Structure 1
Amino acid sequence: MKNIRTKLIVYFSVIVLLSSLIVGFISISYSSRSLTSEAEKSLVQMAREGAEITVGRIATQIKTLEIIAGLEEIKSMDWTIQKKVLDEILNRTDFIALGVVGLDGLAYYTDDLVENLAERDHIVSALNGIPSISDVIPNGMSGEIIMRYVVPIESNGQIVGALIGRSDGESLSLITDDIGYGDKGYSYVINNKGTVIAHPNRDMVLNLFNPIFERDTDTSLESVAAIFEKILDEREGLGNYTYEGKDLYAGYAPIEGTEWILVITANVEEVLAAIPSMRNSIIFAAI
């Protein structure tokens, strides 16, 4: 009788233990999915908010130029007069050079650079009354990587030219550097062709990195190229990819008023880092 009782105790103890472990593993699986789901939701929301922050900082630069463009000396469209004023103002802005472009598309800058921008879309837009910004692009004259912010110059109700604020190629990256997920996540911006125009790795910006174009010669970029194509197609959403041996989540959202998309990454390993300790706690509790 005693042996039967002992066997029953052992039997039911094993059943309870197994049941607890099963419940524990189900809890771990559920918790893993919950962690992943919350991270995904957070990434998309952070991408939206990051895009809004970027829009706000771009708007600040545009507003600065609009104030300068409203000065009578700038409205004069006399470069000798304009240059003197712009030279004095330049150090109080975030631009590396200021310039004026006439209706003929010829641009003069405070650093004495002269270039013909008549066929550039962002210049055409400004000369038609719409403030505009360029992509991160090579400067045709010097070869340096730059961005242009452009606003119309109006006098007596007529557009007489446009004011240009030229920034170096890292300026957009400085805006997005502070946006990231966790300790290992970071953000970057791509244009409508999939070219990286802002990134913590400045070489990507300066080299106009585009995995869609480069995957034909570098098969390791296939995963990155695929997520970039997904981002360009959807413009807002969530995806995952592998880059340099790291598995990443990516949340993305469009930057209003541009053809750019902000992408925020999260390291999968970091997102799931809490699971091992959670698993150990559940197993310990079950035992």
Structure 2
Amino acid sequence: ADINKFLEDYSKNSIDDSLFLANKNGLAYVDGDTHIDISGRRYFKLAIDGISNISERTISRINGEYIFVGSVPLYYDNNIIGTIQKIYTDKQMNELFAASLFSSKGYMYVINSEGYIILHTKHINCALKSDNYFRDVYEYGNVEAVRKMKDDIKANKSGFMENAVNGEKTFSAYTPIEQVHDWYLVTSVPTDVIAENGNIVMKIFYMVMVSLVLIFLVSICYFAWNKRRQKRVLEKIAFVDNVTGGNTYNKFLVDVQETLSNKINKQFYILSFDVDNFKYINNFYGFACGDKILRQIYSSVSVWMQPGETAARISGDRFVCFLLDADEERIEALFSAIRNITEENLILHFSAGVYVIKDYDENINLMVDKASVAAQTIKGVLNQHVVYYSKQFDDQTARNEELKRDLKLAIKNDEFVAFYQPKVDINSGKLVGAEALIRWQTKDNRL
């Protein structure tokens, strides 16, 4: 989906109408509103298989004109994710062959491996009897030359031959066009006018091919740069906390999971803590002040931690740490250091719970929950800031859940009974009221 969105955005913003992209399924993005299926085109099939190529003359499905289409694979992380196409009009391609060779007596062809003529110079000596170069040379009586040329092309080799055209001896050289799949360049010149500029056409053609490759490379670099930029933006959203500028809880989970997956033979701990009555700070001093305090807390914790430890803000004023050392004195020292960090002379109080990791495969969220449960048990307890999670918390949690279930059953079974304690005026001895009491009388002695 990200790739398709990029291809579509590129087609909308591209200033070159002759350059268009296609995804791996052959859906070409010609402009923002036009999509064309090119999956059946040979040039696309070759490119998606990793073969750069230029098509034979074909008819445009947009304007019906004759065109040639250059196509190369589009890579990302060493995988082909689509193709890039460059359109050349029939006029543009033929202009590449407008240069005269050898004092206007030379000429050339571009053919495929089966001998069919794709392009040729507009020249009086470029005599054509058919659309197949092999057939033309054969009909001029050059049987052996045709056989050798076919064998060389089949082996993807360069070669040359002497043949006669209308009684004039001609020297012809042929070579594969390396940048273009299944294309061969044939240059011919009468043997009596061979001169030093015999390779000028090859230079012109290769200059065009180099330009085409450069365009493709620029497009690929743009795609890779844009993809990396998007990745950095997404990572910042997912892994950078917008209040503290430090780790998010998602980043914390990733880092802890990576460490535990390595099965390092060390003891680790989860520390969960929050600020007591932090809601009061936000309400009285404002959220800007509250956010500033959260940043100061995270900064102090980051300095306090040892290598291999990590921390994050879960939400609000809740923080979590992954530690190698969770000695109570060490944690108390941290809280002492950050208790008076505020410029408003506020004294911060913390409640912290520690969970000792015994099973590396245990769910990390469950570990954090257990540390948080332990921290909640000392909320409001004077001079106690740290408590370690133990089995009694499991038992208490199970007992609380059982009580919740029994309360629902008691209401359903009418097990709550009202009793009234009379209130008597001691001076008059008269009944002036009563104190209502509710007693829970279970029918099956559950309590």
Aligned to 1:252: 174
Q: Secondary structure at the match of 1:124?
A: helix
**2:4 aligned with 1:82:** no
**1:126 partnered with 2:42:** no
- Between the aligned partners of 1:122 and 1:208, the Cα distance in structure 2 is 25
State the alpha-carbon separation in 1 of the partners of residues 190 and 140 from structure 2: 15
CA shift for structure 1 position 266: 1.5
The answer on whether the counterparts of 1:152 and 1:163 sit within 8 Å (CA) in structure 2 is: yes
AA of the residue aligned to 2:160: L
Q: Report the alpha carbon displacement of residue 105 of structure 1 after superposing the two structures with TM.
A: 1.4
Structure 2 counterpart SS, 1:234: helix
Aligned partners of 1:163 and 1:114: how far apart in 2?
14
Contact 1:194 / 1:228 at 8 angstroms: preserved in 2? no
TM-score by length of 1: 0.50
Secondary structure of 1:136's partner? coil
Counterpart for residue 160 of structure 2:
238
Q: Does 1:222 align with 2:139?
A: yes
Q: Identify unmatched segments of 5+ residues in structure 1.
A: 1-73, 91-96, 272-287
1:137 is aligned to 2:60: no
* Structure 1 pair 103–254 and aligned structure 2 pair: CA distance change class (3 A): closer
Aligned to 1:262: 185
Structure 1 CA distance for aligned equivalents of residues 186 and 42 of structure 2: 25
Amino acid at match of 2:176: P
2:89 equivalent in structure 1: 168
| Cα shift at 1:245 | 5.7
Tell me how far apart the structure 2 counterparts of residues 161 and 256 of structure 1 sit (CA, whole Å): 22
Structure 2 CA distance for aligned equivalents of residues 77 and 111 of structure 1: 11
Q: Is the 8 A contact 1:194 1:210 kept in 2?
A: yes
The structure that is helix-richer by fraction is 1
Contact 1:239 1:249 in 2 (8 A): yes
Q: Matches of 1:263 and 1:197 in 2, distance apart?
A: 11
C-alpha deviation, 1:223, in angstroms: 1.9
SS in structure 1 at match of 2:70: strand
Q: State the Cα RMSD in Å.
A: 4.0
Structure having greater relative contact order (Cα 8 Å, sep ≥ 6): 1
Deviations 1:150-189 (A, max 9, x none): 2333456653322211112354444454473444112222
**Aligned partner of 2:68 among 126, 139, 147:** 147
Q: How does 1:38-49 map to 2 (within 5 A)?
A: none
**Residues 165 and 228 of structure 1: CA distance in aligned 2, closer, same or farther (over 3 Å):** farther
In 2, Cα distance between equivalents of 1:196 and 1:256: 18
Deviations 1:5-32 (A, max 9, x none): xxxxxxxxxxxxxxxxxxxxxxxxxxxx
Residues paired across the two proteins, number: 184
Which residue of structure 1 aligns with residue 329 of structure 2? Answer: none
Query: Which one-letter code corresponds to 2:186 in the other structure?
Result: V
Query: Unaligned stretches of 5+ in structure 2?
Result: 195-447
Contact 1:106 1:116 in 2 (8 A): yes
Contact 2:102–2:193, Cα closer than 8 Å, also in 1: no
Q: Which letter maps to 2:120?
A: H
Q: Deviations over 1:197-222 (max 9, x none)?
A: 221129x9xx9921446x6xxxx970
Alpha-carbon spacing, 1:109–1:185, altered in 2? closer, same or farther (3 Å) = same
SS in 1 for 2:47: helix
Distance 1:102 1:225 in 2: 46
Q: 1:154 to 1:190 in 2, by over 3 A?
A: closer
Distance 2:174 2:162 in 1: 11
1:256-276 per-position Cα deviation (integer Å, ceiling 9, x unaligned): 2432222221224546xxxxx
Q: Which residue of 1 aligns with 2:27?
A: 106
